[in-house]
Amino acid sequence: VDGLVKHFPGKGGLFGKGPAVRAVDGVDFSVMKGETLGVVGESGCGKSTTARLLMQIARQDKGEIVFDGELLGSRALDLKAYRRQVQMVFQDSYASLNPRLTVEESVAFGPRAHGLSAAAALARAHDLLRRVGLEPRRFGGRYPHEVSGGQRQRVNIARALALEPRLLILDEAVSALDKSVEAQVLNLLTDLKQEFGLTYIFISHDLNVVRFMSDRVMVMYLGRIAEIGPADAILGTPRHPYTAALLASQPSTDPNARLEEAPLTGDPPNPINPPPGCRFHTRCQFAADVCRTREPGLDPVAPAHFAACHMAAAGSGHPKAPEVPLA
């Protein structure tokens, strides 16, 4: 993903044309084949908009998407071919299913629309339902309202897999589930990833779940990437004050954990008019003069680890800088 920008037209003002909401405001990142990239940040940071742009449910104002070496929109990769390879599972398991279709019809729908015979599409649906733990004889003929939330999310996963995608975007896909059901679905996702050789983009506000699922983590703030790198580094030794504050704000599962960072207070500023300089400066306990005027670049701070903070560069004296100089 290179230079992705999406501004939504504003709705305020006398003529309903207020200033634009800068939902995604210049985002570059890669997802490696076979990995899970976790995406975190408060609501309004641009996580879901990024996902929708990747799905091409929304079109970017600027920027390019390259999939498996081919530029989206080029002759080698048209939208139709791309869309088959990228599927999404949303938080609301009910809203994403057609209430008039049975579970097996929902899963068979995509393959049927892509040219499989009715029998072949149904056979694929039954295979996938079995694979996500729903016995087709018992569940196939039920309607979405006749199964539980966890079962419905399994149906959505089966449906997302029905076109044999290579990249699955999970946007808060387990967030509405009870903790015990959530764990089952996370384990299912882990197994499916192995079995089908999938790549995941896993969006969640729950850092513990992201830690469990992700190889790398990307932290977003007000439409930009604050920090990206290996999951252990981002969630263990974060270098961006925003990431540190997010972690401090999470309810800890470790009763002996000490709060070393001030947790986040207040809401993020309005994405219509992000603060100048570093967008986080209005909430950052380390903000200096330079932070108010100059926007930090997303610079390397450790191997494969990048942070957009003036104070995070090696040897800067930032409290999170490593004691051992970087090689």
Which residues bind to ligand SF4, rule: CB under 6 A?
Answer: 240-241, 278, 280-281, 284, 286-287, 291, 296, 309-311
151 vs 149: CA distance, rounded Å: 5
Interaction of residue 49 with Mg ion, rule CB under 5 A: no
Nearer to ligand SF4, 133 or 269 (CB): 269
Nearer to ligand SF4, 288 or 304 (CB): 288
Pairing verdict, β 199-203 and 167-171:
parallel
**Chosen from ligand SF4, Mg ion, none, partner binding at 109 (C-beta under 5 to 8 Å by type):** none
327 vs 302: CA distance, rounded Å: 9
15 vs 9: CA distance, rounded Å: 12
268 vs 264: CA distance, rounded Å: 10
* Out of 48, 93, 106, 153, the residue judged to bind Mg ion by CB under 5 A: 48
CB of 43 to Mg ion, least distance (A): 6
**Chosen from Mg ion, ligand SF4, none, partner binding at 310 (C-beta under 5 to 8 Å by type):** ligand SF4
Pairing verdict, β 216-221 and 36-40:
parallel
**Chosen from Mg ion, ligand SF4, none, partner binding at 296 (C-beta under 5 to 8 Å by type):** ligand SF4
* Residue that the structure tokens 């992705």 belong to: 4
CB of 170 to Mg ion, least distance (A): 12
Q: Within the chain, how many helices (H) and strands (E) appear?
A: 11, 13
**Chosen from Mg ion, ligand SF4, none, partner binding at 48 (C-beta under 5 to 8 Å by type):** Mg ion
> Residue 318: which residues within 8 A CB-CB, separation 6 or more?
239, 286, 309, 311, 312
Q: What are phi and psi of 198, to 5 degrees?
A: -85, 165
CB of 205 to Mg ion, least distance (A): 8
CB of 49 to Mg ion, least distance (A): 8
**Chosen from ligand SF4, Mg ion, none, partner binding at 150 (C-beta under 5 to 8 Å by type):** none
In the chain, the amino acid numbered 199 is T
* Residue that the structure tokens 């903790």 belong to: 179
Nearer to Mg ion, 48 or 60 (CB): 48
Helix (H, G, I), strand (E, B) or coil at 80: helix
CB of 318 to ligand SF4, least distance (A): 7
CB of 119 to ligand SF4, least distance (A): 58
Which residues contribute to the site for Mg ion (CB under 5 A)? 48
